[in-house]
A and B are shown apart, each in its own frame.
Chain A
Amino acid sequence: MNQVLIAVFALVGAASFSSRIEVVAASAVVACGATWFVDRDALRRVLRVGLLLGLVFAAAAAGAAVAWASGLDRGLFIGATVLLRLVVLVTVAAVVARSVDAEGILAAMSRMGMERLGLVFGLALNCLPHLNETASTVWAAHRIRSGGRWAAIGRLPSLAEVLLAHTGRVADQAAAAAALRGHGALARPVTPLAPKVRTVVVTGSPGAGKTPLLESTADELRNRGFVVAGFLQPAIIENGAKIGFRIRDVASSEVRDLARRVAEGEGNFGTSFSFSEDGFELGRRALNSVPPGSILIIDELGPVELRGGGHWPAVDRALRSFDIAGLVVVVRRTLVPALVEALDAADVVVVDLEEVDGDAVTEVVEALRGEAPIRPSINAIVTDA
């Protein structure tokens, strides 16, 4: 809608609040006429029987009250004025609602420095059809389970509970999806690492042995004469369950606790782990002095790092400050696309432990030397991102 029309509709809307009925009537005629030329669908939307009856009812109520207080003539006058005013307001509302581009609003919010709020609106818009559909499905299931419509209405609190819990789950999934995409605006902005050397991304399912593989790879690299720096994050296992992580400096072998599993909702950074600042400090020290020509091992970068937190700043600083010969990064499988995007590296090879036929250590070392094949399935994962 161009600016002239916006001005016309704004004027018409303002004029409808005049106390003179001829001005209000004229504004109603202009509003309906302009809408007829600009957006006939909007006018059809206004001229629905249900809506018009509602307007008439509201105007009649106001008119009746005034007629009772000040006489029939005055009541009729007020009723007619209110009806015409409501017609103008509803018409202007219909045109504005159909003409204003939500994308434009989001762009405008971005320009005003409220990008996060714009993204929240965008997410809400995207989720609206899903929530509507879910509400219908949940209602149908609730009605069947309750044995009829009236019994279902009697058990509305349990329906609300299900719907609210479902909404919470979708919100959690949306947060995870935003983290997976390394969404720079909903999360803290992530500076791409942009390593200038060959980068090997080691991945695999949880428990596939990524950390032990990196320990063996570090030993193999040392045997071949490389200097190895960085850190490993071995799991802390108690009674067969993973309850946290330690961090070990690859060069000095110093070990600290990094994270412990805590009750849901009590973790840091939106995870179920409580992180120790001591652990992060050791990670920073491990990356503070990297000899030239080293192979840098980072085990691992997770959702926290992909949101710009955790080890990310230290890794970023190390890659910018030191002249390394190669980089090995561990990441869980679902985060491979997000990491590859956040790395913004010119030369990346992904090694998936479950797809390695022979010796995984040899595969990683060969990948660092540029001799390993790039596997098609991993390519597909990366392309999907």
Chain B
Amino acid sequence: MKDLRPWTHAALYGALWGALEATAGTALHLGRVPFRGEIMGLFGLVCLVCLRRLQPKVGVVLVAGSTAIFLKIFTLGGLYPGPLVGIGIQTLAVEFGFIVARGPWAAAIGGIIAFGTNPVQRVITAWIVSGTEAATAVLRAVGELGGIDPRLVLAGFVSLAASMGAVGGVWAWRLAGRVERRLRGGP
């Protein structure tokens, strides 16, 4: 990247994501707001998709994701594995989406992978922090309360989250278009 703008855009959009994690993320986490992971994921998706639309360079999203992780660890005091793993997966998902597709499709693919892996990532984090017994018990409790197989419950959550990711990705792409027109003075 000989042009400076992809680097500075990655820094700024990564910082914006980091700032949102620090403010809105902390507030949602402490308030135990339902779907806080998905809400924060949408913020991240919007930042990354907007960045990729303004600076269509391969790797720019990875730089922004690294920046957000850096800020999360060293300025916001977050060594909790969940958000860090979440940011990392989301970054890789969006970059992958824009490598295999273009336009809103790319954003949708990124959103599907990012959001779809969210429940799985949560189970893994719960497994790490609480141990296998607690994670299994939670899945079993959820499944038995509804009378459904726990694997189906997880699959249901994954499908729901992936659908939200697809819609969120397309919406983020359209929002990024409005931002682009605002910045470049187009119609």
Is there a chain B Cβ closer than 8 Å to A239's Cβ? no
- Hey, what's the 0/1 contact readout for B168-187 against A, CB within 8 Å counting as 1? 00000001101100111100
Q: In this assembly, does A78 line the interface, its C-beta being within 8 Å of a C-beta of chain B?
A: yes
Which residues from chain B contact A68 at a C-beta distance below 8 Å? 137, 141
A residues 165-220 with Cβ under 8 Å of B?
Answer: 165, 167-172, 174-175, 178-179, 183, 186-188
B50 in contact with A164 (CB, 8 Å): yes
Contact of A78 among B12, B74, B133 (CB under 8 A): B133
Let me know if A35 is at the binding interface, CB within 8 A.
Answer: no
> Is B163 engaged at the interface, CB distance under 8 Å to the other chain?
no
Given contacts A50-B30, A62-B130, contact A100 B11 (CB under 8 A): no
Nearest B-chain residue to A128, judged by Cβ: B15
Q: Residues of A contacting B67 with CB < 8 Å?
A: 120-121, 124
Q: Are B176 and A164 in contact (CB under 8 A)?
A: yes
Are the CB atoms of A171 and B8 closer together than 8 Å?
yes
Contacts of A50 in B (CB 8 A): 30
Binds A, one of B76-84, B104-112, B154-162: B76-84
Against A, the Cβ 8 Å flags (1 = close, 0 = not) of B108-143 are: 000000000000000000101111011011101100
Q: Is the CB–CB distance between A125 and B32 below 8 Å?
A: no
Q: Collect the chain A residues with CB atoms within 8 Å of residue B126's CB.
A: 62
Nearest residue, chain B, Cβ from A129? B19
Give Cα A171 to B130, complex, Å. Answer: 41
Chain B minimum-CB-distance residue to A263: B184
Contact A178 B54 (CB under 8 A): no
Chain A proximity of B132: nearest CB distance (Å): 10
Tell me if B4 counts as interface (CB < 8 A to partner A). Answer: yes
CA distance A74 to B136 in the complex (A): 14
> B98 at the A/B interface (Cβ < 8 Å)?
no
- CB of A93 within 8 A of CB of B5, answer no
- Counting CB contacts under 8 A, is A2 at the interface? no
User: In this assembly, does A382 line the interface, its C-beta being within 8 Å of a C-beta of chain B?
Assistant: no
- Report whether B14 and A124 are in contact in the complex, using a CB–CB cutoff of 8 Å: yes
Number of A-B contacts (CB under 8 A): 189
Specify the chain B residue showing the minimal Cβ separation from A68: B141
Number of B residues whose C-beta is below 8 Å from A?
A: 59
Check A174/B12 contact, CB under 8 A, given A78-B131, A128-B71, A135-B23: yes
| A residues less than 8 Å from B50 (CB atoms) | 164, 168
- B54 CB contacts on chain A under 8 angstroms: 168
A85 and B128 alpha carbons, distance in the complex (Å): 11
Whether the pair A117, B8 counts as a contact (CB closer than 8 A) is: no
Residues of A within 8 A of B148 (CB): none
Verify if A70 is at the interface (C-beta below 8 Å from B).
yes
Whether A105 lies near B4 (C-beta < 8 A) is no
In whole angstroms, what is the CA distance A128 to B76 when docked? 11
**Chain A interface secondary structure, helix, strand, loop or mixed?**
helix
Asked if B5 and A175 sit within 8 Å, CB to CB, the answer is: yes
Say if the beta carbon of A270 comes within 8 Å of chain B: yes
Min Cβ gap B36→A in Å is: 12
Is B87 an interface residue, CB under 8 A from the partner? no
Stretch at the interface among A155-163, A357-365, A370-378: A155-163
Q: Cβ of B76: which chain A residues have Cβ within 8 Å of it? A: 97
* Interface residue? A296 (CB, 8 A): no
Residues of A within 8 A of B182 (CB): 161, 165
In the assembled complex, the Cα of A57 lies from the Cα of B29 at a distance in Å of: 12
A45 at the interface (CB under 8 A from B): yes
Interface residue A94 (Cβ < 8 Å from any Cβ of B): yes
Asked if A1 lies at the interface with its beta carbon under 8 angstroms from chain B, I say no
Check: A223 CB closer than 8 A to any chain B CB: no
Minimal Cβ-Cβ distance residue in B for A162: B182
The reply on A65 being an interface residue by CB < 8 A is yes
Q: B residues within 8 A CB of A45? A: 77
- A97 B46 Cβ-Cβ under 8 A: no
Against A, the Cβ 8 Å flags (1 = close, 0 = not) of B17-49 are 011101100000110100000000000001100
Closest 8 CB pairs of A and B: A93-B79, A97-B77, A124-B15, A69-B137, A62-B134, A65-B137, A175-B4, A171-B12
Q: List 10 A-B contacts (CB under 8 A).
A: A69-B140, A102-B74, A102-B75, A120-B10, A121-B11, A125-B71, A164-B179, A167-B16, A264-B185, A270-B3
Residues of A within 8 A of B (CB): 17, 19, 45, 50-51, 54, 57-58, 61-63, 65-66, 68-70, 74, 78, 81-82, 85-86, 89-90, 92-94, 96-98, 100, 102, 105, 116-117, 119-121, 123-125, 127-128, 131-132, 135, 157, 160-161, 163-165, 167-172, 174-175, 178-179, 183, 186-188, 264-265, 269-270, 307, 309
Instruction: Report which B residues bind A (CB closer than 8 A).
Output: 2-5, 7-16, 18-20, 22-23, 29-30, 32, 46-47, 50, 54, 63, 66-67, 70-71, 73-80, 126, 128-131, 133-134, 136-138, 140-141, 175-176, 178-179, 182-185
